Amino acid sequence: MCGLLLLSAAETVWKRVASGSAYLSDRTRDSEALGLDTGPGALHWEGRVLRNILIIVYLLVGVVVANSHHYFVHLHSLTAVLSAVLAVLLWPLVLFGVSLRLK
């Protein structure tokens, strides 16, 4: 029953799009008929997901750059660990040749 309802709603959407009579209000109504979130919170949630993905990618690139500059070789002291953390967070500086090794 639910699949049939979704199919008929999708057919209605495509008929209106093909005829050129689909407007923003129609899309909102169709999205609601399909059970999709149309509120302002939906866009906010998608932005949050994208931000989290970018943060993860940034940190992964930082780990790769810090590892390639040997910041993870000797992590026996607090200063070495702090240097590695700084290198991960500030990896663009490491690429430009700035040494973030604490003494």
Tens digit of each residue's pLDDT (9 = 90 or more) over 71-80: 999 899 999 9
Structural domain span for residue 63? 40-103
pTM of the model: 0.59
Q: Are residues 44 and 28 in the same domain?
A: no
Q: Are residues 58 and 74 in the same domain?
A: yes
Q: How far apart are the first and last CA of the chain?
A: 69
Q: What is the pLDDT of residue 45?
A: 74
Q: What is the pLDDT of residue 92?
A: 96
Q: Are residues 72 and 27 in the same domain?
A: no
Q: Are residues 34 and 48 in the same domain?
A: no
Q: Are residues 54 and 87 in the same domain?
A: yes
Please tell me which residue, 10 or 94, carries the higher pLDDT value: 94
Q: Are residues 55 and 99 in the same domain?
A: yes
Count of domains in the chain? 2
Q: Are residues 48 and 77 in the same domain?
A: yes
DSSP letter assigned to residue 78: H
Mean pLDDT of 52-78: 96
Q: What is the pLDDT of residue 103?
A: 87
* DSSP states along 44-67: HHHHHHHHHHHHHHHHHHHHHHHH
Q: Are residues 25 and 44 in the same domain?
A: no
Task: Find tokens 């490491």 and name the residue.
Answer: 94
Mean pLDDT of 44-70: 92
Please classify residue 66 by burial: count the beta carbons closer than 10 Å to its beta carbon, then call 0-12 exposed, 13-18 middle and 19+ buried: buried
